[in-house]
Amino acid sequence: MTRTEQGSLTRVRQPGPVRVPRDPHPSVRPVLGIAAWASLAFVVLLWLHGGALQDLAAGGGSAVTAAGRITGLVAADLLLIQVFLMARVPWVERTWGQDQLVRWHRWVGFISFNLVLVHIALVVLGYATSDGKGIVSETVDLVVTYPGMLLAVASLGCMVAVVITSLRAARRRLRYESWHLLHLYGYLGVGLAIPHQIWTGTDFIPNAAARLFWWTSYVVCAGSVVLFRVGIPLWRNLRHRLVVSRVVVEGPGVVSVHLTGHRLDRLPVRAGQFFVWRFLDGPGWTRGNPYSLSAAPDGGSLRITAKDAGDGSARLASLRPGTRAIIEGPYGGLTGARRRRHRVLLIAGGIGITPLRALLDEPDYNRGEAVLLYRARDADELVFRDELAALAEHRGVRVEYLIGPRAPGRWLPGTAPKVSDATLLRRLLPDVASYDVFLCGPSPWMTTVQASVLQAGVPADQVHVERFDW
């Protein structure tokens, strides 16, 4: 471990009294959780109101069909929850962070899809039993004669495509842009399923409360997607008109892109957040990549820093001043709003330094209350050394470089003392439990770091992580 050398920085904020920021929407968590569970409970009540208990008691095909109805209703509700989770609603993003929302979105999606399959199997079996037909002939009859069923079959096809391409094995073989395009078919699947529910749903047609509930749910989800994934990004790009001002080589394969625009003081972004970026520099501009800000926004410019990882980031080095940038965002919750304590410990691995470097620009810590542990395989991988040295000199940031090949099963270099990572962390910061800890780096590495931080005694609500390996 080596202490940082001294240096200079063009712009340094003067330290002052600390005010730990809080989540601007603390009530979102319980409200949204209650709303999700309440919607599922209401769906069950609608099912019961539609005579489910009598059908179950009757047995035979009626009971099987009733079971098929409830799985379909719950699947439809979960599908809408899944869509809402990824509608990019700002206060939801800031509360949980996009990585957590993506995990919930994935799990809710797989549960919903499996329930759809069970729904189809039970309804076909129930109708076949009641009608005295075979499974194949009953399936054909349902698809051909019932209104909206052909659209429902198309909806199922869209969902199958989305689920298959969402499996990790499939995602590793697809470019992000191809996966994202295929994933959009999920919205088409939701839309194609609506006529089936409206025209043939026995829990929808005769019940005014059911119609109100489902139409409201569809409108809220569709409206959120249109507003936050289309309308607001379009408005922000038209308003702020971001362009590249210069490109700076930070190290081998690492570049920073500086951007300017119109009224950037009105762009609601914080240090630690990221945008999905597209640059109008020729063929392939439609491929978006998520890059975090590597400096806190100052109202007049933005800076992103990326390493050539073969995913389109290599194009950044060839950008020319004046190139127009298109953004989606800001996204992510790895911001000072998550802070619970005055002191802050930042642990970065490789290019994961970028959002943490931006957090060090914020004024909400006093001299000596911020510590940065910067992990790299070799000294050439380090970036922002002059800036970090200046922060150490002018703001009292303690910077420790952890350089060398990673020890097996550890997040520290192999040259670290042969004690547990948690023990070494407590030696470095005996009062580590009084710090908020922010982590950013490769996902497996962060998992190891997070485990050691928790073992060192830091409460879980003071450990803040955001992952990008969706």
Q: What is the DSSP string of 428-447?
A: H-TTGGGEEEEEES-HHHHH
DSSP string covering 116-131: HHHHHHHHHHHHHHHH
Residue 292: its pLDDT value, please?
Answer: 93
Encoded tokens for 49: 């109101």
Q: Say if residue 424's pLDDT is above 50.
A: yes
- Taking every pair of Cα atoms in the chain, the longest distance, rounded to a whole number of angstroms, is 85
Q: 2-20+339-465 belongs to which CATH class?
A: alpha beta
pTM across the whole model: 0.78
pLDDT > 80? residue 20: no
Which whole number is the average pLDDT over 283-298?
Answer: 88
Please give the structure tokens belonging to residue 89: 């609603």
The pLDDT tens digits of the residues spanning 122-160 come to 988 998 998 888 888 888 887 777 777 777 787 778 788
Give the sheet arrangement for strand 301-307, strand by strand: 243-251, 254-260, 301-307
Task: Indicate if the alpha-carbon torsion angle 107, 81, 465, 423 is positive or negative.
Answer: negative
- Domain covering 28-232: architecture: Up-down Bundle (1.20)
Statement: residue 2 has pLDDT above 60: no
Average the pLDDT over 355-370 and give the result. 90
Question: Do 77 and 217 contact (CB within 8 A), yes or no?
Answer: yes
- Which residues make Cβ contacts (< 8 Å) with residue 436, sequence separation at least 6? 338, 339, 340, 341, 343, 344, 345, 462, 464
Please tell me whether residue 175 adopts helix, strand or coil conformation: coil
How high is the pLDDT of residue 262? 95
Say if CB 133 and CB 117 are below 8 A apart: no
Residue 205 or residue 119, greater confidence: 119
Band the pLDDT of 436: cuts 50, 70, 90: very high
Per-residue pLDDT, averaged over 441-464, amounts to: 93
The reported pLDDT for the residue numbered 14 is: 37
13/295 Cα distance (integer angstroms): 13
Helix/strand/coil for 352: helix
DSSP label of 171: H
* pLDDT at residue 7 greater than cutoff 70: no
Domain boundaries, the chain: 2-20+339-465, 28-232, 241-331
pLDDT beyond 60 at 190:
yes
436, β-bridge pairs: 344
Mean pLDDT of the chain: 84
pLDDT at 5: 36
Mean pLDDT of 392-408: 92
Q: Would the pLDDT of 340 be above 50?
A: yes
For range 352-380, the mean pLDDT: 91
pLDDT in tens, 206-256: 778 888 888 899 899 999 999 999 999 999 999 999 999 999 999 888 999
Residue 15 has pLDDT above 60, yes or no: no
Which has more confidence, 323 or 205?
323
For tokens 């209104």, the residue is: 147
Rg (the chain; Cα; Å): 26
Q: Domain 241-331 classified CATH 2.40.30.10?
A: yes
Residue 440 pLDDT exceeds 90: yes
User: Quick one: which of 234, 278, 294 has its CA closest to 440?
Assistant: 294
Q: What percent of the chain has pLDDT over 90?
A: 43
Contact (Cβ atoms closer than 8 angstroms) between residue 311 and residue 301: no
pLDDT tens-digit readout, 64-93: 989 998 998 899 899 899 889 888 888 788
Reported as type and span, the H/E element at residue 463 is strand 463-465
Question: Are 400 and 428 spatial neighbours (Cβ–Cβ below 8 Å)?
Answer: yes
Kindly tell me if the per-residue pLDDT of 270 is higher than 60. yes
Given this model, what pLDDT does residue 18 score? 40
Task: Tell me if 194 sits within 8 A of 134, measured CB to CB.
Answer: no
